[in-house]
Structure 1
Amino acid sequence: MTGSASVVNDVMTRKVVALRAGAAFKEIVRTMQEWGVSALPVLDDGGRVVGVVSEADLLLKEEYGGDVVGPCGQVEHFADVVKAHAVTAGELMTAPAVTVTPEAPLAHAARLMAHRRVKRLPVVRRDGTLLGIVSRSDLLSIFLRDDTDIAEEVRRQVVTWLFGPHAETVRIQVRDGVVTLTGRVHETALVPIAARLARAVPGVVEVHCALTGPPRHPDLDPDLPDPRPTAPA
């Protein structure tokens, strides 16, 4: 990866297979196998995403194909049982679909997947029409970004922006996505801000910040201990 990916549009897959609500059960299974996917968006006649059918939805037919009556004569997991008898995408799908816009930050998409426990998200325009799909693997691809690219962006977007004319005193090393900042800066209050901003650069795995303030002058600060080691007599 050579550029800076920061939003869903940078990493999403644009070639997407989708279903109409009337797609039959066997057609859904066949499409999943042919495309090697575990979930498919379902569209209405206007191309808007109205739901998602996953392998979990399809497997309910196998799970509840037999006896579903509990010991007290009540039907257990009623909603799943209803789905188990569904035969079209519109009946099987989980709705409304959990979607994301192409302008959404990658962190937002990752949090949405984690909170809603889904492996991929349809990417839609503001009117709900399908543009693409973003998966967990798409989000992880940002961590394949070259260390040199990361270092250049940290220098440009963080260090130079924060420290201005004193930016050259900051050394930036990046190895396997881990950023190390060393050197002396005049404004120590900006050090934690530099660490947070560097951590937000796409592709950064972790940040080690060892920035310190300017060296002391004992003649100007006689009441403060001098941290420099003294030479042996």
Structure 2
Amino acid sequence: MHVKVKDVMTTEVASVNGSTPFKDVAEVLIAHGVSAVPVVDGEGHVLGIVSEADLLHKEEFRERYYHEGYQPPLRARLRHRLSPKSGDGREKARGDTAAELMTAPAITVRPHVSIVTAMRLMEEHGVKRLVVVDDEEILQGIVSRIDLLKVFLRSDLDIAEEVREEILEHSLWALPHNATVTVAHGIVTLAGRMHRRGDAQLAARLARRVNGVVDVIDQLEWDTDDTTAWRGR
């Protein structure tokens, strides 16, 4: 089973428009218990995203702009000073509407993309969530790190069935074997015997790629070590 973003994303998503005032954006975040909301136009096209961090710039730079005696923590001051985007925080501290506060463009993903691709995209951009849009860039949902963890809720029985049918029975094994698979708490154990060592190693690698697998214990034995020739090349 190749899990897609559409299988785990949240579809009931709160959003705001560009003219939504600062306080209303904060109220939406609090009322819905979320840390960010997409900013959309009248037709639902995603323009950007506003996070709680964007709103908190107002407090971080309060001393500089409002002279209320607030001094940002040293870590925050160093982060903004060293960051190539340090000017963004100061500009957002002046922002009064979602359009002035948002980060644009938002990092987006399509519903049909695999969750592995979504994970890599989050890691690449250093974000905790992705806005899901269709081919017209219209909002479809939000996928967060916690959503991606849902794949690990897959049952042991379901995982074992996929490893057995898709890997051990219908994959590359032209030669007979007596390999078996058991799964406990997402940990796959491969046991038994295969004809070639290369096949046994490949089976273990493929099992690790199955959605929901936490780890693979490789107890497979083999009759012929066909990897010696590979190492000699």
TM-score by length of 2: 0.83
Query: Structure 1 or 2: larger helix share?
Result: 2
Rounded to whole Å, the distance in 2 between the matches of 1:186 and 1:164 is: 10
Letter in 2 for 1:53: V
Identify which of 194, 197, 210 aligns with 2:219. Answer: 210
> What amino acid maps onto 1:202 in structure 2?
N
Mapped pair 1:102 → 2:111: yes
User: What CA distance in whole angstroms lies between the structure 2 residues aligned with 1:54 and 1:114?
Assistant: 18
Contact 1:49–1:130 under 8 Å retained in 2: yes
Aligned to 2:146: 137
Residue 172 (structure 2) aligned to one of 135, 157, 162: 162
Structure 1 vs Structure 2: percent identity of aligned residues? 45
**Counterpart-to-counterpart distance in 2, 1:56 and 1:63:** 10
Match of 1:63 among 45, 60, 63: 60
For residues 192 and 127 of structure 2, the distance between their equivalents in structure 1, rounded to whole angstroms, comes to 43
From 26, 29, 36, the counterpart of 2:23: 26
AA at the equivalent of 1:7:
K
Distance, in Å, in 1 between the alignment partners of 2:41 and 2:21 is 15
Deviation at 1:36, TM superposition (A): 0.1
2:51 corresponding residue in structure 1: 54
Distance apart, 1:44 and its partner CA: 1.9
Residues 46-91 of structure 1, C-alpha deviation per residue, up to 9 Å, x if partnerless? 311111100000000111111279xxxxxx7433111101011111
Match of 1:195 in 2: 204
Give the unaligned 5+ runs of structure 2: 68-80, 225-233
**Cα shift at 1:115:** 2.4
Structure 2 residue aligned with 1:223 = none
Could you tell me how far apart the structure 2 residues matched to 1:99 and 1:166 are? Answer: 46
- Return the alpha-carbon distance in structure 2 between the equivalents of residues 100 and 209 of structure 1: 35
1:16 paired with 2:13, answer: yes
Q: When the two structures are aligned, how many residues end up with a matched partner?
A: 206
Structure 2: how far apart are the matches of 1:194 and 1:145? 20
Q: Which runs of 4+ in 1 moved over 4 A?
A: none
| RMSD of Structure 2 on Structure 1 (CA) | 1.9
Q: Which amino acid aligns with 1:162?
A: L
Equivalent position amino acid for 2:123 in 1: A
Q: Is residue 152 from structure 1 mapped to residue 149 from structure 2 by the alignment? A: no
Which ranges in structure 1 are unaligned for 5 or more consecutive residues?
70-75, 216-233
Secondary structure at the residue paired with 1:94?
Answer: coil
**Deviation of the 1:45 alpha carbon:** 2.5
- Quick check: 91-100 or 192-201, which moved more? 192-201
